[in-house]
Structure 1
Amino acid sequence: MLIPLPGRLREYAERATSPVPAKDAATIAVVRDGAEGIEAFLMRRQSSMAFAAGMYVFPGGGVHEDDFGVVDWTGPSPEEFGERLGCAPDLAHALVVAAVRETFEETGVLLAGPDADTVFGDTTIPEMTQAREDLEDHRLGFAEFLRRDRLVLRADLLGVWAHWITPAFEPRRYDTRFFVAALPDGQRIDSVSGEADRSLWAPLTRVLERVDAGGAAMLPPTVATCRELVEHRAGEILAASLQRTVTPIEPRIVEVDGEMYLQTESQEHL
C-alpha cells in the first residue's frame, strides 16, 4: 500500500537538499483491554505544533541530556535493551528513561514504584501533579525526581515494539523507538499535556476505521503500530513484544504515474 504524500510534505520533498540529523526520541503506546478489544491512549497534537500538528499520537518526546543520568532501575538491563533497540547501552538507558519520563509528564501514567514489585498508585495527588509540572518546565530532572521520591523505574513493564526514522526530506526528523506498556493497576490518565488539544482512550478497531475513512489524521508509524497492536490483548502485550524483530524503518519517496507517495520497505506496516 502506498500513501499519497500530503501537500505540506510534498513541498518539503520537492525542495529537500541534505537531510537534517534525526534526533533520538521515544514513545509509549499505553494500552488497556476494553469491551471492544484492546484500547490505546491517544493525544491530538495542537495545530500550532511544529511537528505532527493535528495528528493523533502516543505520548512521548525527545531524549534529554539528563535522561542519561543514573536511576534506580529494575527489569532488563540497558545492555539487554540495547540489543533489542540496536544501540549502545547508554543510549538504550536514555531512551527507556525518556519514554517513561515523557509519558508521566504528558499523562500522569508512571512506570515506577516504591520497589521492584510495585507501581505508584494514585498519581493524581497534588505532589505528583507538581512534579509533572516541574519536569515539563525543566525545574526538575527525572532522575532527581525518582531519587527524591525513592522510586524505582520499572523497565520490566516496557516492551520494545518498533523503530521508525522520519523520512530524509522532512525539516524536523526523529529517530524514534516505540515501546508498549499496559496501564498499571490503580493509575489513570490525568490532565494531559498542553501540547494536545484532545485526548482519549480509543478501541483500536474504531481508530483504524476512522483513519481508513479519513476521519482521523495519523503519521504512518502510529497507524502501523495501531494495526499491529489490534491483534493482541493488553495483558499479553509484553510477551508479544518479545516475539518481534525490531529493525529501523525509514519511509522513502516513490513516484508512480507522476504522483509522489510514501513507502516503507515492508508494506504490511501501512
Structure 2
Amino acid sequence: MANDRSASTFDPTAVPIRDASTVILVRNSARGVEVFLQRRVVGMDFAGGMTVFPGGGVDPSDTDAEVRWAGPGVDWWAEKFAVGEAQARALVLAAVRETFEECGVLLAGPSPHTVVADTTEYTDARRLLEARELSFGDFLEREQLVLRADLLRPQANWITPLGERRRYDTRFFVAVVPEGQRADGNTTETDLVQWQTAEEALADWRSGRCVLLPPTWSQLSALSRFDTVAELMAADPVVEPILPIMSRRDGAVHIAFDGDAAYYEVGTHPWARRSDI
C-alpha cells in the first residue's frame, strides 16, 4: 500500500471515517447461489488487488439528491442501520449508484413495480456518473426512473480498523440481479469480474488464487449457508457494527474480529507483507 507519510508522522486517530455502501449481488444457478465478485486494480488507494463486492463511498450528491423512491421508507432503513434518516437515505442511494457504476446493474425502473430490463441504453450516463460529471439524482430524474429500495436487503456493517490510512463505515446490502440485466466489468477500478458460488470463492481464497479482506470473507461464509436466493433474501440478520482491531504479531499485521481464527487458519491475507503502519 502506498505511503506518502512516514510512520513517525502518521496519526491513525486523525484519519476520518467515511460512509460507504457495498452490494452483494446474487443469482440462482445450477450450482446454487452465485455472487458477483470483482478484483480491484493493483495500486488503488484502498483494497488494491483484493477480491471484493461492488461498492464505494457515499458521495455528497447522494445526500442532496431528490429521487422517486419505491420500497421500505427511509425511516425503515434508518432503524435497520441505526443511523439518522438523511444518512440512511444517502447509504441506499450510494448502494444503487455504485452498483450501476461498477457493474452496470441498475436497481431502478419506470414505475414503483417495474425494473429496467436492459441498461445498455444508459452506457453514456454510466460513464458520466463514474467520472462525477453527472449526479445520480439528476440521472434518475432525467430518465424518469424510480429507485427500487425494495430490491435491496440490509446485511452487515463493518468499520475499517484504526491504523489504516483510509477508513470506511461500510453498510452491506444484498440484491438479486434483475431479470434481463447483466453484471459486467466495464469500470476502471477492476481488472477481473466473475460469478461464483460462495464456496467456490472461498476455495480460491484457501488456495491463494484470490485475496479476501475480512468483511468479504465473512459475508461469503454467511452466504455459503443458503441454498437458494429466496432463502437468502428472506433472512433478516441483525446488523451490528463490527470494528476489527489491528495489531502486529510476529512482524505481520493481524486483524482481530469475531471468527478470526477460521480466517487465519488458511487462505491468503493482505497484511502479511505490509510495513506501512
Relative to the length of structure 2, the TM-score reads: 0.87
Seq. identity, %: 45
Partner of 1:238 in structure 2? 233
Partner of 1:111 in structure 2? 107
Q: Residues 248 and 195 (structure 1 numbering): CA distance in 2 closer, same or farther, change over 3 Å?
A: same
Partner of 2:87 in structure 1? 91
* Alpha carbons 1:164, 1:176 under 8 Å: kept: yes
In the comparison of the two structures, how many residue pairs are matched? 259
* Alpha carbons 1:181, 1:237 under 8 Å: kept: no
Cα offset, 1:255, TM superposition? 5.7
Q: Residues 256 and 172 (structure 1 numbering): CA distance in 2 closer, same or farther, change over 3 Å?
A: closer
Partner of 1:37 in structure 2? 32
Partner of 1:165 in structure 2? 159
Stretches of structure 2 lacking an aligned partner (at least 5 in a row): 264-277
Query: Which of the numbers 205, 215, 221 marks the counterpart of 2:199?
Result: 205
Cα deviation, 1:58-116, whole Å, max 9, x if unaligned, reads: 11111111101211001111111011111101000000000100100111100000111
Cα deviation, 1:164-222, whole Å, max 9, x if unaligned, reads: 01110001111110100011111112352111011111121111111122221011101
Cα offset, 1:253, TM superposition? 2.7
- 2 CA distance for matches of 1:213 and 1:191? 24
- 2 CA distance for matches of 1:55 and 1:259? 18
Q: Does 1:102 align with 2:75?
A: no
Q: Does 1:26 align with 2:2?
A: no
Partner of 1:3 in structure 2? none
Q: For residue 19 of structure 2, what is the amino acid of its counterpart?
A: D
- 2 CA distance for matches of 1:138 and 1:116? 27
Partner of 1:60 in structure 2? 55
- 2 CA distance for matches of 1:263 and 1:8? 23
Relative to the length of structure 1, the TM-score reads: 0.89
Stretches of structure 1 lacking an aligned partner (at least 5 in a row): 1-6
1:1-270, aligned counterparts within 5 Å? 17-19=11-13, 20-68=15-63, 69-125=65-121, 128-232=122-226, 233-240=228-235, 242=236, 244-254=237-247, 260-265=253-258, 267=260, 270=263
Using CA pairs under 8 Å that are at least 6 residues apart, name the structure with larger relative contact order, 1 or 2. Answer: 1
- 2 CA distance for matches of 1:227 and 1:93? 28
* Alpha carbons 1:227, 1:269 under 8 Å: kept: no
